[in-house]
């Protein structure tokens, strides 16, 4: 009887399945972090714009 070297098809499919599950989990995690970052950036830009408008109005009003 010969010694088999290498992997069987079933083992390769299982490894690919596990890797794909891990990839999808990490993808969703980073996707939500990106949305949170964009929301925070939008809030900061809005506050910055409001402060600039307020300071401009305070400097130019009589």
Q: pLDDT tens digits for 13-50?
A: 999 999 999 998 888 777 778 888 889 999 999 999 99
User: Does position 62 have pLDDT exceeding 80, yes or no?
Assistant: no
- pLDDT given at position 31: 78
Whether the predicted model's global pTM rises above the 0.75 cut:
no
Helical residues (DSSP H) of the chain, grouped into ranges: 9-60
The phi, psi pair for 44, rounded to 5°, reads -65, -40
- pLDDT given at position 1: 60
């Amino acid at each position: 009887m010969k010694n088999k070297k290498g992997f069987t098809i079933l083992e390769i499919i299982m490894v690919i399945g596990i890797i794909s599950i891990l990839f999808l989990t990490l993808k969703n995690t980073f996707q939500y972090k990106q949305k949170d970052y964009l929301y925070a950036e939008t809030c900061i830009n809005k506050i910055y714009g409001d402060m600039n408008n307020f300071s401009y109005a305070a400097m130019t009003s009589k």
